[in-house]
Amino acid sequence: MAINRDWWKNRIAYQVYPRSFCDGNGDGTGDLKGITSKLDYLKDLGVGVVWLSPVYRSPMDDGGYDISDYCDIDPLFGNMADMDELLAEAKKRDIRILMDLVINHCSDEHPWFQKALREPDSEEAGYFWFRESAGGPPNNWRSMFGGSAWENVGGDRYYMHLFSKKQPDLNWENPKLREKLVETIRFWLDKGLGGFRIDAITHIKKMEGLPSGPADGPDGMVGCFAYTRCIEGIGDFLTELREATFDQYECMTVAEAAGVPNEQLVDYIGPKGYFSTMFDFSYSEPYSYGHGWHTCKGPGEWDFRTWRNALYASQLFTQKIGYGAVFLENHDYPRACQKFVPEKDHSPAVQMMLGNLFFFLRGIPFIYQGQELGMTNPSFTSIDVIDDISTKNHYRVALADGLTPEEAMPLVARYSRDNARIPFPWDDSENGGFAPAGVKPWLPVHPDYKTVNAKAEMANPKGVYAFYKEMIRLRTESEYAKTILEGKFAPILKQYDKLIAYTREGEKKLAVICSLSDKTRKIKLPFGVKNLVLSSLDSYKLEGNILTLKPYQSVTLEIEEAF
Ligand code: NOJ
């Protein structure tokens, strides 16, 4: 029977951060049993694909993105029987599970690496990037988590790590290593997994000769992107991988494919692409971090049009060749309103507008846990409660730049990855119902959990949750579903600042108009309006072709032919 390659397209995807979704065994950490117990919640929301951040065995240096056994479950999350149960229960509900495939690097506690350390001539040593270098690291690349991308292991011997030093990079030039990875992937797909979200995959090829580059900071180092991202030849590895694995299963793959130039998108997600779909990060961060989060611009302080152009360009390029994956939040970012809207303006209605902005773009929408509740950053006030390695690094950089701890913490906290990693609030009981009363959750619950939680949101017909449910219904079951799924994307009303506006044209014609202005404004529409499909606020005013939008309001309209 022919394999259906498109089964995922009309589904809604949802990212679960397992450590923080639901604690099934009462130890303060979320786990697989907890996730299984909440499948009905996901089903009821309308979810058809669930991406689990890593649950493999791991020392948890980088939240599980440092894997020490690819074919086992970390005891923190349960065991293989729990995983099998989750897969079976999800299948009963027609939900397909994606695991996180982290194969650019593994953990330094993986037996391969341990053997490589002990026996420099072993086969396993060839799975990594070891180099001999006298008098300092083999080159001046800076790792993505700060500091040199090389770690010394005694004498002149170093290994490469593009992320933390507990995440040695795997050497994809080695065919034996590639075979091992293929075996692992097939192990999971044979279990009936829905597929994978694939981590940091554009980094698996390094520039030939591993050359140093001109320093771009006072540390004398150079960012590793130019030397390790989308490097020529990567396609050979990715084609081989696809043919040996994904091609043979009815699975979906969504690549974390940062840095792919538009003209190469076709290789990644075109008809013969390496992956089913991918996340495009070109518009996910409107600001640039500079050399540390403390120097980064705050919400609304960056150039709106540059960000908007990136979003439009991504949609326009992608629709020519394939089907993207669209998202607003994930486990690596602060909550969306903190990224896009100044603090003084935050409200549930603003979160609905942001939801509306991304949800009807062309692509499969990924909701990050808690986004549907309108969760916000919890405002961490002390570095002591932070687990995220990246936040700790940026805090150190801020202190090294001369900031006091009191100055550094609020600036770094704004961008902390732990903002999105705190426990999911299920109700207003102690610990937000995430873990039993009396148990300390691994990260603090949000101070607002008594009012912002799943139970309260589900009972609120005007809340963020109800708004997401309606968007899901519109995308999957309504008369507009086909148009939202496949319709052509085109940006409109570009003359207006602080406005994201686009049409989707298929069986029907829709216009999505989202204001990011804090003022009420009038917009002159270049088309007639048939219907209001959705508004983030109760009020909706259209006089002739003049649409009045309140601050941060979004509307989705069914429109007439001419525009
Ligand atoms: C991307 C993941 O999303 C992030 O959480 C992780 O730190 C890096 N890749 C390294 O695996």
pLDDT tens string 212-252: 999 988 889 999 999 999 999 999 999 999 999 999 999 99
Cα 43 to Cα 45: distance, rounded to the nearest angstrom: 5
Q: Which residue has the tokens 């603003």?
A: 350
Ligand 1 centroid distance, CA of 145 (Å): 10
Predicted confidence band of residue 342 (pLDDT cuts 50, 70, 90): very high
- Test site for ligand 1: of 61, 65, 107, most ligand atoms within 8 A of the Cβ: 65
pLDDT score, position 562: 53
CB-CB neighbours of 345 under 10 Å: 16
Q: Which atom of ligand 1 is nearest to the CA of 105?
A: 11
Ligand 1 centroid distance, CA of 505 (Å): 36
Spacing of C-alpha 495 from chain mean position: 31
The pLDDT mean for the chain works out to 96
Cα 332 to Cα 421: distance, rounded to the nearest angstrom: 9
Q: Which residues are catalytic?
A: 199, 256
pLDDT of 455 higher than 70: yes
pLDDT by residue (tens digit) across 33-64?
999 999 999 999 999 999 999 999 999 999 99
Ligand 1 centroid distance, CA of 332 (Å): 7
Percent of the chain with pLDDT strictly greater than 90: 93
Q: Which atom of ligand 1 is nearest to the CA of 102?
A: 11
Ligand 1 centroid distance, CA of 390 (Å): 10
Beta strands in 161-303, from DSSP E residues, in sequence order: 195-198, 222-223, 252-256, 277-279
pLDDT by residue (tens digit) across 345-381?
999 999 999 999 999 999 999 999 999 999 999 999 9
CA-closest residue to ligand 1 atom 6: 65
pLDDT by residue (tens digit) across 405-451?
999 999 999 999 999 999 999 999 999 999 999 999 999 999 999 99
Structure tokens that stand for 254 in this block: 């969504």
**146 within 8 A of 168, measured Cβ to Cβ:** no
Ligand 1 centroid distance, CA of 102 (Å): 8
The whole-number average pLDDT for the span 478-497 is 98
Ligand 1 site, CB within 6 A: 62, 65, 102, 163, 199-200, 256, 331-332
CA-closest residue to ligand 1 atom 10: 65
Predicted confidence band of residue 276 (pLDDT cuts 50, 70, 90): very high
The whole-number average pLDDT for the span 9-23 is 98
CA-closest residue to ligand 1 atom 3: 332
pLDDT of 288 higher than 80: no
The whole-number average pLDDT for the span 301-313 is 93
Residue 300's alpha-carbon distances to 133, 226, 280, 338, 374, in angstroms, are: 46, 29, 21, 9, 19
Cα 136 to Cα 215: distance, rounded to the nearest angstrom: 16
pLDDT of 73 higher than 90: yes
CA-closest residue to ligand 1 atom 11: 65
pLDDT score, position 163: 97
pLDDT of 291 higher than 80: no
